[in-house]
Structures are given as structure tokens and as C-alpha cells.
A = this chain, B = another copy of it.
Amino acid sequence: MPVKKKPQRRSSCPVNVSLEIFGDRWSLLIIRDLMLRSYRTYKEFLSSDEGIATNILAERLQRLEAAGILTTSRDADDGRKVVYRLTEKGIDLAPILVELVLWSARHEETGAPPAAIRKMRAKRKQFLAEIRNNWEEGGTAVFIPGSRSA
């Protein structure tokens, strides 16, 4: 009997589908670190200001890999390190992150530098192109800094 007990979705609404993949307090922060800060390793994610727990981080990285949003590989120079990278599916989340940033900057008090926000809003397409470009080149650009910056 080929019964499908697959962890079926709550609904097929596109909003719900995306929430079931990254609708929690941590997933998009990891994606932010990968996309806007060019973080690549477990340790770097741990260093972010929000202070994610090690078990939560490990579980989220697994889920995001299973969802096809990121990939893992060993560092060629240091066999201890695991290198995480966004897939095309992952970099396509850029518009969502940009809108999150613009909404927060408009309606909440954030540490985002106003000049950066203005550029992001006025030259949205260009900003998205820069993010994608940096990703394609495997770059290390920082679009939104962490820690003592913003």
C-alpha cells in the first residue's frame, strides 16, 4: 500500500509554503549573514549579534540545505571548516530581505544607516543586481554590517 504519510503542508498557498520553509526567528538571519555579510562558516554565524544557540544553528542549516536554499562543502585549506553557500534558490530570497529591511527602517527604530536605506529604496534594482553579482563571483562584499556597525 503506497500510502503517502509525507509531512504534508498545511496548505498550498504560496505565502504559507514560504513560511513553512523559513518562517521562524532564525532562518532569515542565517540567510542574511550569507547574502549580505558574506559569512561562510558555522563559527561566523554564531558570532552574529543575535546569539543563536549551537543546536538551533545546526538544525536550521540542515533544514535550509534540505530545502535547497544552501549547500555545504569542505574548506580546501582547512578540513575542519564547512563552507556554506547560497544556491540560486537562496539568492532569490534577496528581494524579500530587501523589503524586510525597508519596512523596518520605515516603521521601527533600527541601526541601519539612513544613507544605505535611501540607496536601497531609490536604486532597488541596482542593489539587487549587486547582491546577485557578488554571489555569482563568490564574493565577500558586506552590504549590511553586523556587530558594532548596524
Contact = CB atoms under 8 A, between A and B. Distances in A.
Interface string A42-77: 000000111100000000000000001000000000
A97 interface: yes
Nearest to A124: B95
Interface of A: 10-21, 23-25, 28-29, 32, 48-51, 68, 89, 92-93, 95-97, 99-112, 144, 146, 150
A89 B107 contact: yes
- Within the oligomer, what is the number of copies of this chain? 2
B104 A14 contact: yes
A25 B24 CA distance: 6
- The listed residue with most B CB atoms (<10 A of its CB), out of A13, A50, A100, A102, is A13
Contacts of A68: 107
Contact of A102 (B48, B49, B95): B95
Nearest to A89: B107
B92 A14 contact: no
